[in-house]
Structure 1
Amino acid sequence: MGLLDNKVVLVVGVGPGLGKEVARIVLNEGGRVALADISEEAMADTHAELDPNGERTLTCRVDLQDESTCLAAVDAIRNQFGRLDAVVLVAAFAGAFDLLADRTIENWKLTSDINVAGNLRVIKASTDLLTESGGGAVAIVGSTAGVLPTAGYTQTAYGISKAALIAATHYLSKELGARGIRVNNVAPGYKMGPALQSALESWAEAADTTTEAVSGPILDTLSLHRFANDVDVANAVLFFITDLSRNVTGQTLYVDGGMILH
């Protein structure tokens, strides 16, 4: 038996990387997946790779800035699967990598509207169906940037938006707990993938050295001396959307190799 047998999970943000890995793990654990993304191409690629016959997946375009697309996605899930047991929010706008002085407030609003209000739009749209299905779980993908400015990254707007999601986790866990809905946050730190690899290469070029030389001091700040990967983070999400965490809500789990210690 799988941990998610007969369960339905909405994953928002299913392009290459973490979202796809979350969808893969859900399917491997016996669940069904609604694949949601703003990119039709990303959804099609993930669908073709994970469930080419479409037996256990549904694709639905979601624009985090457009509440109507969130509502339409939940309607599609209701019509095809008849229930919803978990929501995983992976999608985010990470393009705001500069300083306060270098951006207009309008640009900052874009980061907030996608990363904070966008998550809230999906959760709000999903709440009734989650309740009708007997309660469920919401897993928000945050970031250690929400509590600790990251050396080498000028990501003030992004970090502030991720900090807001930690607060949202606390408040929504209280509000939705009476409806049997748990709300938790998975916060990766340095995660090896295209973004981190590109950053390491850029820093190495600027310092006229190797990526190994620039990654060494970063790894020294991590208790485990290794970067996380998408599977590491997806497994943490799995914990929060299954009955393994049936009495856990309002929490943030740092998947960072021991960078943040409590």
Structure 2
Amino acid sequence: MTESLSNKTIVIVGAGPGFGRTLALRAAAKGATVVVAARTESRVVEIAEEVRAGGGNAIAASVDATDPGSVRALRETVAGHTDAVHGLVYSAFAVPSMKPLAQTDHEQISRGIDLSVLGALRTTQEFTSLLEAGAADTGASAGAGTNEDGAGAAQDGAAPASSSVVMMASAVIHHSRERYAGYKIAKTALVALGHSLATELGPRGIRVNTVAPGYIYGETLKAYFEHLATKYGGTLEDVYAHTAEKMDLRRLPGEREIVDPVLFLLSDAASAVTGQTLTVDCGEFHT
């Protein structure tokens, strides 16, 4: 169980119908006000309505993370509702090129880096002041003080003041299988970005971590497995079993099993965790 996110504002950039939806619902259930943002406005409106229907608080906003003006507009929208953000999750995603590097043009790789890496940087840059305010807000509510460098300091056992950025990478960073190179380049660079931002933003009370999921067994992956079953013969269950046999737990993680580690990193329970990459893949890779 992760700690409560009561009175926290969590911004989710790239809130899709699978992981993003589950994260929004789980965060709201723990008391957070969630800002769901993605390119497809109808999708985020639907997720926000579902959050509200469950008794939670949600704001829907469209954003194109590759457009600096759009990211700025998102920050202005959020700032119109609150003067502090306590958590930012960057999970913007586009289907990557699945071609060998010899057949992948530079523009395809550039687009992946722009979305995965520069999009994360743009978003973090825009929200830094609100995240810093969120760290101060957290410290005040927890009874934390401030040291000479401006960073939060624990008092009476309370968690030190901090806000949290979580960037969604991928377990692809751990392997060099054919056809994944373009995706690996972007996600590995995202991890490096997270390391540097953790160092630079730490003194301002902002923690930065990445989560590297393996397969996420939801509707999207099921559809892909069904495609493979049709293409090569067999059943969905056959494809699942063949894939899962590579995992220590002999199964694939579900959406909630990816979401809950993210919620941990957003919470005060992870107040001393920054600059880390957490792989969540049922034991496919040991890191």
Instruction: Report the TM-score, using the length of structure 1 for normalisation.
Output: 0.93
* Residue pair 2:3, 2:269 contacting (<8 A) in 1 also: no
Q: Which residue of 2 aligns with 1:117?
A: 118
Mapped to 2, the partners of 1:45 and 1:97 lie a distance apart of 31
* Counterparts of 2:103 and 2:53, CA distance in 1: 45
SS in 1 for 2:80: helix
**Deviation, structure 1 residue 76:** 1.7
Residues 157-176 of structure 1 mapped to structure 2, 5 A cutoff: 157-176=182-201
Q: Which amino acid aligns with 2:171?
A: T
Once the two structures are overlaid, the 10-residue window that deviates more, 232-241 or 89-98, is 89-98
Report the counterpart of residue 207 of structure 1 in structure 2.
232
* Number of the residue aligned with 2:84: 83
- Whether 1:138 aligns to 2:139 is no
Q: Quick one: distance in 1 between partners of 2:236 and 2:8?
A: 42
Q: Distance in 1 between matches of 2:56 and 2:24?
A: 14
Q: Give structure 1 stretches of 5+ with no counterpart.
A: none
Is 1:185 the counterpart of 2:210? The answer is yes
Q: 1:222 aligns with which of 247, 251, 260?
A: 247
Distance in 2, matches of 1:154 and 1:227, equals 21
Checking the alignment, whether the CA contact within 8 Å between 1:146 and 1:164 is kept in structure 2 is no
Larger radius of gyration: 2
Q: Secondary structure at the match of 2:48?
A: helix
Secondary structure in 1 aligned to 2:210?
strand
**Distance between the aligned counterparts of 2:3 and 2:253, measured in 1?**
25
Shift of residue 192, structure 1, vs aligned partner: 0.8
Cα distance change, pair 2–258 in 1 and its aligned pair in 2 (3 A):
closer
Q: Could you tell me which residue of structure 2 aligns to residue 33 of structure 1? A: 34
The CA deviation string for residues 222-250 of structure 1, in whole angstroms up to 9 with x for no partner, is 11111111111110100000001000001
Using the TM superposition, give the Cα deviation of residue 7 of structure 1 relative to its aligned residue in structure 2, in angstroms. Answer: 0.5
Q: Counterparts of 2:205 and 2:257 in 1: how far apart (Å)?
A: 27
Cα displacement (A) at 1:54: 9.5
**Kept after mapping to 2: 8 A contact 1:11/1:34:** yes
Aligned residue for 2:89, secondary structure, equals strand
**Superposed, which structure 2 residues align to 1:10-159 within 5 Å?**
10-52=11-53, 56-133=57-134, 134=136, 135-149=162-176, 154-159=179-184
Alignment partners' CA distance in 2, 1:256 and 1:4? 25
**SS at structure 1 position matched to 2:81:** helix
Deviation at 1:159, TM superposition (A): 1.7
Report SS of the residue matched to 1:81: coil
Distance in 2, matches of 1:55 and 1:194, equals 24
SS of 1:97's equivalent? Answer: coil
By how many angstroms is 1:184 displaced?
A: 0.5
Report the AA paired with residue 143 of structure 1. S
Aligned equivalents of 2:222, 2:56: Cα separation in 1: 35
Q: Hey, what's the Cα distance between the residues in 1 that align with 2:54 and 2:171? A: 37
Q: What fraction of aligned residue pairs are identical, expressed as a percent? A: 30
Indicate the residue corresponding to 1:197 in structure 2. Answer: 222
Residue 53 of structure 1 deviates from its aligned partner by: 9.6
Distance in 1 between the 2:217 and 2:60 partners? 27
Deviation of 1:148 (Å): 1.7
Shift of 1:253: 0.8
Letter in 2 for 1:60: A
Aligned residue pairs, count = 260
Is the contact between residue 209 and residue 265 of structure 2 (CA under 8 Å) also seen in structure 1? yes
1: CA distance between counterparts of 2:282 and 2:176? 16
Which segment is superposed worse, 46-55 or 175-184? 46-55
